[in-house]
Structure 1
Amino acid sequence: MLTDYHNHLEKGTLTLDYLRKFTEQAAQKGIDHFGISEHAYHFYQTANILQNDWVNERRYYDMKDYVKLFHAAWDHNIDVKMSIEMDYTPGKHKEMDQFINQYDFDYVIGSIHWVGDFGIDLSEYKHEWDKRDIHEVYTAYFDQVVTLAESNLFDIVGHLDLVKIFKYVPKDEEFLLAQYERAVNALAESKTCVEISTAGLRKPVGELYPDKRLLEMCCNKKIPIVLSSDAHVPEDVGADFDQALKLAREVGYQSIMTFSKGERKEFPLG
């Protein structure tokens, strides 16, 4: 069983023709469960959750059109899961919950891209890394991982250690492992799965999310996994899944989680 649950249409159009390019690539890659999880900040309906200058310029979709696209796909027997990738926003649990529950998502991904006003994975903000204390950024980032898990709003946490994207990683291993540990402890008490994401291989960090030590800690706590490519173009669907599967097996995983209308099922790893 293979999944690719984290994919985006934002570089194209919300049309069946463009969606088919993704689903056809998934079929060619032997992916059994494929989903689209557009960034929630693109939708007008999330304006009460996340607001900043970078996001506000990119809020141009209506959820009615998004839902309509999936229903059209299903009417054409296109097997695709409907999801959303939501920027976890501290202090907005009620608003996030209200948004999520308005729609019949197959699953919901929660991700952390913002530490306060700092877009940690955005090239426009990369210069900020040299101005900030790396330990403070990591502490604040993993604070959010903990509260994301505790919220129990999400089925999957996206790219768990995205904070390493530009290769800014604390040299103090004891500090880093302590951040991992508290994240894993919180996730183990939640319903939230962890994705092994191949997107990091296409980023400056040049490695999978999450770090092998972090994933091994997840496995030891029996936190379920899914596989994701975080494709923003059809060609990246299922990219480098051989490496994701190798890592999963190396740390001890033997199964994968699937989702359909919020229902979880566990299958042997593909």
Structure 2
Amino acid sequence: MLTDYHNHLENGTLSLDYLTKFTDKAKELGIESFGISEHAYHFYQTADILQNPWVNERRYYDMTDYEALFQKAWNHDIDVKMSIEMDYTPGKHKEMEQFIKSYDFDYVIGSIHWVGDFGIDLAEYRKEWDRRDVAQVYKAYFDQVITLAESNLFDIVGHLDLVKIFKYVPDDEEFLLEQYERATDALAKSKTCVEISTAGLRKPVGELYPDPRLLQKCFEKNIPIVLSSDAHFPEHVGANFDQALKLAKEIGYTSIMTFSKGERKEYPIG
């Protein structure tokens, strides 16, 4: 069984023609369980959850159109999961829960892209890394991983160590491993799975998410996994899955989680 649960239509259109470019690629690669998880901040219905100038310029979708697209796909016997990738926003648990419960998602991804007003993975904010204490950013980032897990709102945590995207990493390895430890402790007590994401291979860091040491702690604490490409273009669907599978098996994983309308099933890994 192969999954690819983290994919975006934002560089194209919310149309069946564009969607099928993704699903056709998944089918070609033998990915049996495939989903689209558009960024929640694009939708007018999330205006009460996340607000900042960068996000507000990019809020242009309506969930009615999103739902209609999936219904059209299902009417054409296209097997695609409907999901959302939500920016985990501290202090907005009630609003996030209300949004999640308002739609019949197959699963929901929770990700951390913002540490306060700092867009940690955005090119526009890259120079901020040189102005900030890297260890403090990591501490604040993994604080959010913990409260994300404790919220138990999400089925999957996206790119668990996205914070490393621009190769800024604390010098103190003991400190870093401590962040991994406390994050995985929290995830182990939640329903949240971790994705092995190949997106990092296409970013400056040039590595899979998560770091093998972090994934090892996930495995030791029985945290389930899925595979994801975080494709923003059809050609990136399932990209470098050979490396993701190799890492999963080296760590010791033998199974993968799948989702359908909130129900989860475990299958032997592909």
TM-score (norm 1): 1.00
The number of residue pairs the alignment matches comes to 270
1:144 correspondence with 2:141 = no
Residue type at the aligned position of 1:50: L
The answer for the alignment partner of 2:75 in structure 1 is 75
Instruction: Deviation per CA, 1:63-105: give whole Å up to 9, x if none.
Output: 0000000000000000000000000000000000000000000
Determine helix, strand or coil for the equivalent of 1:84: strand
The answer for the alignment partner of 1:85 in structure 2 is 85
The answer for the alignment partner of 2:130 in structure 1 is 130
Q: How does 1:23-172 map to 2 (within 5 A)?
A: 23-172=23-172
Cα deviation for residue 120 of structure 1 reads 0.0
Residue type at the aligned position of 1:76: H
Structure 2 CA distance for aligned equivalents of residues 213 and 162 of structure 1: 14
Residue type at the aligned position of 2:115: V
Instruction: Deviation per CA, 1:238-268: give whole Å up to 9, x if none.
Output: 0000000000000010000000000000000
Instruction: Deviation per CA, 1:4-49: give whole Å up to 9, x if none.
Output: 0000000000000000000000001110000000000000000000
Residue type at the aligned position of 2:216: E
The answer for the alignment partner of 1:7 in structure 2 is 7
Cα deviation for residue 159 of structure 1 reads 0.0
Cα deviation for residue 124 of structure 1 reads 0.1
Structure 2 CA distance for aligned equivalents of residues 203 and 186 of structure 1: 27
Identity over aligned pairs, percent: 81
Structure 1 CA distance for aligned equivalents of residues 100 and 146 of structure 2: 20
Q: How does 1:248-267 map to 2 (within 5 A)?
A: 248-267=248-267
Structure 2 CA distance for aligned equivalents of residues 225 and 210 of structure 1: 11
Residue type at the aligned position of 2:48: N
Return 5+ residue gaps in structure 1 as ranges. Answer: none
Structure 2 CA distance for aligned equivalents of residues 27 and 258 of structure 1: 16
1:231 correspondence with 2:231 = yes
Determine helix, strand or coil for the equivalent of 1:246: helix
Cα deviation for residue 171 of structure 1 reads 1.4
Residue type at the aligned position of 1:34: F
The answer for the alignment partner of 2:17 in structure 1 is 17
Residue type at the aligned position of 1:134: V
Structure 2 CA distance for aligned equivalents of residues 38 and 259 of structure 1: 16
Determine helix, strand or coil for the equivalent of 1:238: coil
Instruction: Deviation per CA, 1:207-261: give whole Å up to 9, x if none.
Output: 0000000000000000000000000000000000000000000001000000000
Structure 1 CA distance for aligned equivalents of residues 139 and 177 of structure 2: 11
Structure 2 CA distance for aligned equivalents of residues 159 and 266 of structure 1: 20
Instruction: Deviation per CA, 1:96-118: give whole Å up to 9, x if none.
Output: 00000000000000000000000
Structure 1 CA distance for aligned equivalents of residues 171 and 235 of structure 2: 35
Q: How does 1:196-207 map to 2 (within 5 A)?
A: 196-207=196-207
Residue type at the aligned position of 2:4: D
Determine helix, strand or coil for the equivalent of 1:232: coil
